[in-house]
A and B are shown apart, each in its own frame.
Chain A
Amino acid sequence: MKRGYLGEFEEIVLLTVAVMEGGAYGVAITHEICEQTGRAVRLNQVHAALERLEDKGMLKSEMGEPTAERGGRRKRLFTTTAYGRRTLQEIQEVRESFWAKLLNPFRPATSL
């Protein structure tokens, strides 16, 4: 089967999970995305994306430890699967090949 397609938001969530290396759960991911991209992301959107990614087999999850802040409830911790990582890599490679073919790479507009 060809690799599953990823939406832009799903890709970012997947990347974030990979970056956070084992410490990835709903709120933490949301905060990380907010900081890194400056977007206003809502918790339910992240949960929905995680759900879809898990369905696609790019993420796996297990229940973590409870904290007092969470009222004694456990976190669901996400880690990327090999399939997920390979997908990210393929996306990156496709992009890089396109960038390499760009004859006239954009330069940052320092002055006009």
Chain B
Amino acid sequence: MKPPPHADRLLQLFCAPHRLEEVQGDLHEEFAHQLRRVGKQKAQWWYWWGVLGFLKPFAIKRKPSGYSTTNQMNATMISNYFKIARRNLIRNKAFSGLNIAGLALGMACSLLIMLWVQDERSVDGFHANGNRLYQVYERSSYDGKVEAGYMTQGLLADELKRVIPEIEYASGYEGNHLYRSTFEVGEKINKVEGTYAGADFFRMFSYPLVQGTPETALNTPIGVAISRKVAEQFFGNPEKAIGKAIRYENREDLIVTAVFENVPANSSQQFDFLRSWNAYVKENQWVTNWSNTSPHTLVQLRPTADPARVEAKIKDFIYRYKQKDQGSLVELALQSYPEKYLHSTFKNGQIDGGRIEYVRLFSFVAVFILLIACINFMNLATARSTKRAKEVGVRKVVGAVRTALMGQFLGEALLLTFCSILIAVALVAVLLPAFNSLTGKQLFLPFGQPVFWASLLGLLTLTGFVAGSYPALFMSSLSPIRVLKGSLKFSGGATFFRKSLVVFQFSLSIILIVGMIVMYRQMQFVQTKNLGYDRENLVYIPIEGDLVQKYNLFKEEASRMPGIRAVSRMRNSPTVNDHGVSDIGWSGKDPNLWVSFSDELVGFDFVKTMNLKLKEGRDFSREFGADTVSYSGFLLNETALKKIGYQHPIGQPLWWGGRQGTIIGIVKDFHFNSMHEAIQPLVIRLDEKKPYGTILVRTEAGKTREALAGLEKISKELNPNFPFTYQFSDQEYAKLYKSEQVVSQLANSFAVLAIFISCLGLFGLAAFTAEQRTKEIGVRKALGASVASVVTLLSQDFLKLVLIAILIASPLSWYAMTRWLDGFAYKIDIGWWVFALAGFLAIAIALLTVSFQSIKAALVNPVKSLKSE
């Protein structure tokens, strides 16, 4: 019977060798004794216990050997390491400069991206109940497709809370668009952005209240919760605001029931006022019909509830309130609220990415750029190793061990990295304002947070080790005999490694260049594509206040103004229309077919004002008296006509929600949503009575200023209680692609940066090669070589590497950019010329970088380079 072997091994590991025999012997003897006394199990336990007892200094301490060992780590050696490092830095100013600059740029870029990623990840992370907050989304299957979205029924939140016991709180939230509403107190009139939320809202989300309580903040229809900013604007301070009346849209007087702290920038919900859900229900009668969807529904589960089970429970919840349709299915599902910000795109009814893709993309870019900078360092350090080989040889001869040399070179790398990180932090501090205005964030360097220092330290050691490891391994492996004899030849392996690093660097740069070109072209495409309507010289004015009643008067007066060609109105705006209707009928429709149409309500002269192209039929016009009757005439777009399938559509019947009308015109397809989505079938009817919407004004080219002045005058007359606001169609359209614009611009800067850093490395390598081949060039020139042939000789090595990089990078970048373009329904083709251009750029830049050095080397008088021998 032997004692447990693991315990024995442990003992052998830590116990001092000169003591091991007696200790182990004693333990074994005791084990045998215990085995007889208490049996195997206990004896084994006892043995472990006994071994652990010897984990004491007296048993661990090794016997001094009596010989002195070379101590690499005493004060003299350390100061010598520093001295040598300093001398090397100063002696090769150009190389040190290149190294530090490259690393500093790389790290600055990674730091910026780290800050951005950190900020993106922190969005919505501040809610105390975050792990119990869920957003409800609806998955609907129809017409062979599965789609999902956050739009839900208006009464869903209240019903969920009433019926499902696991749901502690629930709140509706009108999150599709903010209302820019006019508030008025005494003389002060201002537009404030906000929306509607349920009574539980402040109990669920951690928006601290300065005044009022979460229970009473949103429970009356006449109540309104305002932000500290708004309270200060109208009342001076929050204390004075509470309980006061405030005029809303010059329509009703609301009471301030709560004042909340300004919503932090890292919240995905942004609002300056909130009105209660009772008011929402009152103002939106359609919510009682469970076929209609618009607001978001947010729930908070009880601490004991299992989200998966709740999800299963509410799956068919909708059918408690409405009949199942033929051919369509609507299900509810839950998504963790703090995750929603980064994961909010749906594909086939499942959550599939969102902003997280950009977070990942940029994290990769950060790592790549840092890697490129590290590779520079490795390349320069190993290429220059001939210069320091003698030092290594001498050190080894006088007794340096390999680990000490590795430590020395790693330490030098860390020292350089340290210099670079100082510069990098300074760079970031300088660049942050510009970066913030580009990304629309409020990032800052959090010097007060230990986490920041820890991550700086992490970045420092990581970069230092990655950059320094290969040189350290390589230099410390040199054999002193060969080095000191002067016969140092690099093995094929080292050269190959260096070359592959250059190829890798340039591949990454080329991928970034291709990304830059494709993104730029897609943005150009989106911005300049013919949308089917004319977005130049088109002005939007919101219909609010007295304009609701006086729209016709406004139109009449505006049409007489100089510089205005046509006036019309629509419920949404031409740039975004997220409204849909499913009960459109036509003769010969398959009763099982379930098609969703986009719908729009417009005014007279809509086609004329928008500059749409009519394929057949006519615009809504006052000349046809019958048009004024609701649901009497419909306009369709071509896609809708294809769905319906009428051969001669004009005059044919169409049913909208059971009401029959006739088709009066077919407009050519135009984009009424962003290019991410394909054009949907669209049906348009006349409705000039809606109490909200957008007035469209078509101005004459070049007369915008006069037109706006006129419009402001009319607006002041007809709608004195509302400030005159307007938007330009082309600007609103550009806003649709804001995040793509930002990404495209960031990609530009990063691509430029990556190439610049790569070139720094290439520049250094070229300089070094030229220096090494001075004699060779001298001999060649003495024998009659021309400058051109010498330059070619020196450049072609690098050109080969860049060519290989192009071959590797092209398919990779093609794949990546195809994935990116998949997000657009309307997109450019990536032609072969994109890769050719990127490759050409890379070659040109590489040549420029290298040629400076090679021409310099080729021009040197051979007498000079040869006389020293």
Contacts and interface: CB of A to CB of B under 8 A. Distances in A.
Interface string B273-287: 000000000000000
A71 B59 contact: no
Contacts, number: 61
B58 interface: yes
Name A's interface SS. mixed
Given A27-B30, A42-B50, A51 B25 contact: no
B114 interface: no
Which of B21, B26, B30 has the most chain A CB atoms closer than 10 A to its own CB? B26
B29 interface: yes
Interface in A1-57: 25-27, 30-31, 42-45, 47-48, 51
Given A27-B33, A43-B30, A48-B58, A71 B25 contact: yes
Interface string B38-67: 000000000000100110101100000000
A43 B22 contact: no
A25 B30 CA distance: 12
B635 to A, nearest CB: 95
A77 to B, nearest CB: 10
A25 B28 contact: no
A67 B59 contact: no
Nearest to B27: A43
A44 B56 contact: yes
Contact of A44 (B21, B22, B24, B50): B50
B817 interface: no
B29 A47 contact: no
Contacts of A76: 22
Nearest to B53: A44
A74 interface: yes
B58 A69 contact: no
A30 B22 CA distance: 14
Given A27-B29, A43-B30, A51 B58 contact: yes
B53 A74 contact: no
Given A44-B53, A44-B54, A74-B22, A69 B28 contact: yes
Contacts of A66: 25
A48 B23 CA distance: 11
User: What band does the interface of chain B fall in when counting residues whose beta carbon is under 8 Å from A?
Assistant: 10 to 19
Contacts of A67: 29
Contacts of B245: none
Contacts of B32: 69
Contact of B28 (A44, A63, A71): A71
A73 B50 contact: no
Interface string B1-34: 0000000000000000000011111111110110
Nearest to A72: B25
Contacts of A63: 21-22
Nearest to A30: B30
A71 B59 CA distance: 20
- Which of A25, A47, A67 has its CB near the most chain B CB atoms (within 10 A)? A47
A75 interface: yes
A47 B59 contact: yes
A107 interface: no
Contacts of B53: 42-45
Given A73-B21, A76-B22, A44 B59 contact: yes
Contacts of A27: 26, 29-30, 33
8 contacts: A25-B26, A26-B22, A26-B26, A43-B54, A47-B26, A48-B56, A69-B28, A74-B21
Given A66-B25, A71-B28, A75-B26, 17 more contacts: A25-B22, A25-B26, A27-B26, A27-B30, A43-B30, A43-B53, A44-B54, A44-B56, A45-B53, A47-B23, A48-B56, A48-B58, A63-B22, A67-B29, A73-B22, A74-B21, A74-B22
Q: Which 10 pairs from chain A and chain B are nearest by CB?
A: A73-B25, A44-B53, A26-B26, A70-B25, A76-B22, A69-B32, A27-B29, A27-B26, A44-B54, A73-B21
